[in-house]
Amino acid sequence: MNNKILSNLFKKGSQFLETKYPIMGGAMTWLSERNLVSAISNAGGFGVIAAGSMSKTALEIEIDETRKKTLKPFGVNLILLHPDIEDLIDSCVLKKVNAVVFAGGFPKKSQIQKLKSSGIKTLCFATTNTIAQKMISNGVDGLILEGNEAGGHIGPVSINVLVQEILPNVRSVPVFVAGGIGRGELFLKFLELGAAGCQIGTRLVCSHESIAHENFKDIFIKSEARNCKISVKLDDRLPVIPVRAIQNNATQIFIEEQKKVINQLDNNKVTLSEAQLKIEHFWAGSLREAVINGDIENGSLMAGQSVSLVKKKQKVKEIFDEILGQAERQIVVEMESKNE
């Protein structure tokens, strides 16, 4: 990358992540493990382990195995709904990861401070300016704005709206944008608007370093943006976080699973929090069937709308080079336009 304009736009995010490029890997359950995470970091980005429902021991092993594959910085994504969340935070402190990305809720001040006091950066997601300012006041080091164009668990608002609402009001911490980013031209525009960097997930699923089953990769390459639908919530009592995935039999299976959990809720067999955990475990298991076992008919096919930009299997470095090249060419086009 020789473009000085792009280098300047990268400076804030790259310095924060301690990486060559301000590109974070989206934490994808079963996929964001040692192989893909290390490949992202080795290619100049910031890999993030998806801890998901891992135990403390499993997470520590994954961190150690990732370190065997890269000397570059990487982080861990922690789901705040995890029953052993404090233990997982302790594991991140013990293993001295570079950053923790909190998801599935909003971290407590004490959780943020425990990590910060050990020199670990903290990031969390924000869906409104009020939440963003609250998290900053709680001490979080960085924010991620994830639009509902993204794959997997998503928020309710488009990234284009989030950027307009939050980005102009946040200058004290770096803000990374996510959701539907598949080309360098859009990445560039967000940087020009003040974003520190981006988070990419769907574009990396079909990388050679990804452990996804070939069936899973093939369905990504064949799919279009319109094939990625948001899951339906049947009962407002059940705080189910919407999931975006390529439609298949799992869509209907999820509806039946909700009915079963709602029935258990009605009969006081589970609490609300237990009901939500059951739904989360359903998604984790369903996703594994597709990602690891290759059951693309009945397993969950979590994917963002940028899936239509996934055209072939590539190395992570090739994907980064492609995105960066597009951003550089767009800068040249803009410069030439100004000089006409």
The pair of structure tokens assigned to 184 is 């360098």
The residue ranking higher by pLDDT, 243 or 91, is 91
**281-340 per-position pLDDT tens digit:** 888 899 999 999 999 999 999 999 999 999 999 999 999 999 999 999 999 998 888 876
> Do the beta carbons of residue 127 and residue 157 sit within 8 Å?
yes
Helix (H, G, I), strand (E, B) or coil at 123: strand
What is the model's pLDDT at position 177? 98
**40-67 per-position pLDDT tens digit:** 999 999 999 999 989 999 999 999 999 9
Q: List the one residue out of 205, 209, 203 whose CA is nearest residue 183.
A: 203
What is the model's pLDDT at position 139? 97
197 to 190, 227, 242, 316: CA distances (angstroms): 8, 27, 25, 17
**106-136 per-position pLDDT tens digit:** 999 999 999 999 999 999 999 999 999 999 9
**224-271 per-position pLDDT tens digit:** 999 999 988 888 887 677 889 999 999 889 889 989 999 998 999 998
Name the average pLDDT for the chain.
Answer: 94
Q: What is the pTM of this model?
A: 0.94
What is the model's pLDDT at position 203? 97
Residues 6+ apart with CB under 8 A from 267: none
Chain CA centroid to CA 172, Å: 22
- For helices 272-291 and 214-222, give the axis angle rounded to 10 degrees: 90
Distance in angstroms (rounded) separating the CA atoms of residues 238 and 234:
8
Q: List the one residue out of 211, 170, 185 whose CA is nearest residue 29.
A: 211
pLDDT at 1 over 60: no
The pair of structure tokens assigned to 167 is 């980005």
Distance in angstroms (rounded) separating the CA atoms of residues 111 and 57:
19
Q: Where are the beta strands (DSSP E) in 126-184?
A: 142-146, 152-153, 175-178
Of the candidate ranges 6-20, 157-171, 240-254, the one whose mean pLDDT is the lowest: 240-254
Q: List the one residue out of 178, 202, 153 whose CA is nearest residue 309.
A: 202
- Fold (CATH) for 4-212+312-339: TIM Barrel (3.20.20)
Q: What percent of the chain has pLDDT over 90?
A: 82
| Angle made by CA atoms 84, 118, 120, in degrees to the nearest 5 | 80
Of the candidate ranges 91-95, 129-133, 157-161, 255-259, the one whose mean pLDDT is the lowest: 255-259
> Do the beta carbons of residue 280 and residue 53 sit within 8 Å?
yes
> Do the beta carbons of residue 284 and residue 52 sit within 8 Å?
yes
Domain extent listing, the chain = 4-212+312-339
Specify the DSSP class assigned to residue 314: B
Residues 6+ apart with CB under 8 A from 97: 63, 74, 75, 76, 120
pLDDT at 152 over 70: yes
pLDDT at 2 over 80: no
